[in-house]
Amino acid sequence: MVGASSDRSYLEEVTKYYLWGGYSNFHAKKKMSQLVFNLDDDEFALPAWSSFIKLVGVLIPSINSLRRVPVAARTLGLRCLTGKIEEYENYTSRLVLGDRKVSYVYMQVLRYLHEASRFPREFLAAFDGEIETLARTSNTRVPLNH
C-alpha cells in the first residue's frame, strides 16, 4: 500500500482483494455466493463495510501502535472488572494513554465492532467512561477525536 493512491475506492478494492486472498479468489467466492445463496454485492461484503474501510484508514497510519492495542484493551478491561487498584494505575495510564494512537485505535475498533455486530451501546459508553476517568485521575489528555 506504500505509495498507493489515497482514493477511497482504490483502498476499498485493495482491501477487498487482500481479505479474500486475491483478485481471482474474490471473484470466484463472490460468484459462488451469488449462485448458491442469491447474495447481492452488498450482502457479500463484510458487515458495515463503509465503517470497516474507515477503520482500515485509521489502522494503516497507526501500524507502529497496533501491537500495543490488545495489551491496552486487556488492561483496561481488567480495570473495568476489578475496579481501580492504586498500585496499577500508573502502569494502566501509561499503557492506555501514553501513546495517543493506542487509545484512539482501540476506540475506533470498538466503534466498528459496535456498528458491525450491534453489541449494546452501553458497552462502548462504559469503555469511553473508563478512558476518560483514567485520563482525569492521571491528569492525561484524552486523544483527539476520541
Report pTM: 0.71
Q: How many CB atoms within 10 Å of residue 58?
A: 17
What are the structural domain ranges in the chain?
1-45, 66-138
- Give the pLDDT band of residue 55 (cuts 50, 70, 90): very high
Is the alpha carbon torsion for 27, 30, 34, 35 positive or negative?
positive
Q: pLDDT for 104-131, tens place per residue?
A: 898 899 899 999 988 888 888 888 888 8
